[in-house]
Structure 1
């Protein structure tokens, strides 16, 4: 649905281009959430929004969306393995929020396609 599209590959490339943000040794932490917890929270919120905005999605279609999010979280865990359990900095929080919004945009496009 999403993970096999060019847009997703571009987002993963965008993330890898910004890995330095996550490998920073700065310890200015404003949250108790780890990098992965923040990604999971943000992605969950975005997918709840996608499903809420598209009540006509069937149960099976919602399950496809959830499986895709699971695959995305798995990819993020692989890419961010060395920093996944570090507390998120303010800059990382901003990036994660932006990145999660971009993931939502991919889902918005694919769901619109799916519901035609």
Structure 2
């Protein structure tokens, strides 16, 4: 659905290019969540919103989306493995939010292609 698309490859590349931001020390956010926790929450929020917005999705479509999100999380955890347990900073949170929105956008486009 999206993992095999060029947009996803660009997203992984974007994350890898910004890896230095995750390796820098910074002031943790007040909620004191780890990079991994914040990443999971942001992506989950976007996928919930995706499924809520696209009421035409059938159960099998939703299952494919969930499997792909699992794969995405695996890839991101591999890229960010050295910093997953560190507290997320505001700058890192901004990048993670942007990435989560881009993931939703990839799925929005894929869903639109399903029903065209």
TM-score (norm: length of structure 2): 0.96
Aligned ranges for residues 71-110 of structure 1 at < 5 Å? 71-110=71-110
1:77 offset after TM fit, Å?
Answer: 0.7
- CA–CA separation in structure 1 for the residues paired with 2:60 and 2:103: 20
Partner of 1:13: 13
User: What is the rounded CA distance, in whole Å, between the counterparts of 2:87 and 2:7 in structure 1?
Assistant: 28
Q: 2:36 maps to what in 1?
A: 36
Rounded Cα–Cα distance in structure 2 between residues aligned with 1:16 and 1:69: 18
CA–CA separation in structure 2 for the residues paired with 1:101 and 1:94: 11
How far the C-alpha of 1:25 sits from its partner, in A, is 2.2
User: In the alignment, is the contact (CA less than 8 A) between 1:35 and 1:86 conserved in 2?
Assistant: yes
Q: State how far apart, in whole Å, the 2-side matches of 1:115 and 1:41 are.
A: 28
CA distance in 2, matches of 1:34, 1:115: 38
Taking the aligned partners of 1:56 and 1:103, their CA distance within structure 2 comes to 19
Whole-angstrom CA distance in 1 between matches of 2:77 and 2:38 = 12
Gapped regions of structure 2 (runs ≥ 5): none
Q: Which runs of 5+ in 1 are unaligned?
A: none
Contact 1:57 / 1:115 at 8 angstroms: preserved in 2?
Answer: no
Deviation >2 Å, runs of 4+: none
Offset at 1:60? Answer: 0.5
Root mean square deviation of aligned Cα: 0.7
Q: Which residue of 2 aligns with 1:112?
A: 112
